[in-house]
Structure 1
């Protein structure tokens, strides 16, 4: 939808493996994690605070995951990493089955260049 390829994963904070943390970040080379926050600010409510923007991001990631598209790839136990220096938002109460959102520059092992290349979009970031 927005041209940039983003990754969405979950992280577990304890042995229950609930996936209580949502992790979202760009996979497209040269795109920094701040672009995600720009998109949320541009597409979200003008007076939205940080928590509401984080909820918008989680909603978009969940929607893309559930609805699918030609750009969605599902991996079982695929290795991903989130580089240091991103942003963490803790929700006041569980939102979309997640307690936190972590954003940052993300990488997933084994993706081909055509899977993460930016596409033309009608929506400015």
Structure 2
């Protein structure tokens, strides 16, 4: 589902690279319980739009994968960076971020990687240096 709404938050943020693009992964809470039931993932590299994330998923998933399977692939990559630290640029326990309007929101049929939904879009994270968001050299491109 496309989203016309932007959202801001202050939560845990993981900054990581994939295929040379720097991405951010944050959690969002829908109520005061602060469960972090929404995964927020988007590119931080200047000039890279959120659709590139879905292109990566489409290129790496099977040809017949639907939107929810592609969303699970995106969340798996973000979770991998958070848990394993692979390709991690930075990790913040508490950081302000903003997801711009116009991204994509997917609700999972069941909780996946401790999240009920994935929201993607153009993301900004407060306080990142340009060196942290610059595109990285990579052997693989998508």
Instruction: Report the TM-score range of the alignment, normalised by the length of the smaller protein.
Output: over 0.9
Structure 1 ranges of 4+ moved more than 2 A: 69-72
CA deviations on 1:70-97 (whole Å, 9 max, x unpaired) are: 6431113211000000000000111111
Listed as ranges, the gaps of 5+ residues in structure 1 are none
Cα distance between partner residues in 1 of 2:41 and 2:87 = 19
Q: Does 1:46 align with 2:63?
A: yes
CA deviation after TM superposition for structure 1 residue 44, in Å: 0.7
Cα distance between partner residues in 1 of 2:43 and 2:106 = 17
Contact 2:95 2:125 in 1 (8 A): yes
Q: When the two structures are superposed, what TM-score results if normalisation uses the length of structure 1? A: 0.96
Cα distance between partner residues in 2 of 1:53 and 1:100 = 12
TM-aligned CA distance change 1:68 to 1:87, over 3 Å:
same
> Which residue is 1:15 aligned to?
32
Contact 1:3 1:121 in 2 (8 A): yes
Give runs of aligned pairs for residues 1-125 of structure 1, distance below 5 A.
1-69=18-86, 71-125=88-142
Cα distance between partner residues in 1 of 2:109 and 2:19 = 28
Listed as ranges, the gaps of 5+ residues in structure 2 are 1-17
